[in-house]
Amino acid sequence: MPRRKTDLIPGNYYHLYNRGNNRQNIFFERDNYLFFLRQFRRYLVEQTLYVIAYCLMPNHYHFLVQLRKADLSEKIGAFSISYTKAINRLHQRCGTLFQGRFQAIHVEGEEYWLNLSRYIHLNPVKAGLVKRPEDWEFSSYQEYTELRQGTLPKFEAVRHLVGTAQEYREFVESNETDLIKIQHLLFDE
């Protein structure tokens, strides 16, 4: 397997993402999203990383994380295989679920964190799945805006940059996104 272009160094922040093979869905029903989050926590969150922001979409996922250990590739590989086997068994399908290995982009600086968190939280709105980011159940937006009690210990690393939950909501929903500055952090869904 070719060497990863981005070194995965504990303490650093990364945008992790992947999508379904042929851009097909990786989630088929609500329980799939919940199972994915449980497995992600089991394989990765308990020892390898802190989740700062996330969004699960029907055919892809985004995580903004801070690494705790250098074993991300190994752990996310085991997680992906576990999730794929469960989905294949449940939905009577076979073969690969994800489009290759996960992507990881190093995220430096508070401005990137902030704009990337906005991009992640606006994904379901951009895709036309909901009208408002708080209407999408499978993202950390509701934790950020205090609409749901969450378990993301590090989300304050981003939210403190704009202040209160209401100020974060206004920031996300404003039309001032400068996506050009974070274009290299995004991928074509």
Condensed to tens digits (0 to 9), the pLDDT of residues 39-69 reads: 999 999 878 999 999 999 999 999 999 999 9
Quote the pLDDT of residue 86.
96
Residue 6 placed within a domain? no
Average pLDDT over the chain reads 87
Residue 121 placed within a domain? yes
> Is the pLDDT confidence value at 99 over 80?
yes
What is the arithmetic mean of pLDDT over 165-189? Answer: 67
Residue 53 placed within a domain? yes
Reference 64, options 78, 46, 49, 42; nearest CA is: 49
Tell me the CATH number at 179.
3.30.70.1290
Give the β-pairing of 60-67 and 13-19.
antiparallel
Residue 139 placed within a domain? yes
Residue 3 placed within a domain? no
Q: What's the structural domain count of the chain?
A: 1
Residue 18 placed within a domain? yes
Residue 39 placed within a domain? yes
Reference 37, options 52, 55, 49, 21; nearest CA is: 55
Neighbours of 121 (CB within 10 A): 27
Q: What are phi and psi of 122, to 5 degrees?
A: -90, -5
Residue 40 placed within a domain? yes
Q: Which residues constitute the domain of residue 162? A: 13-185
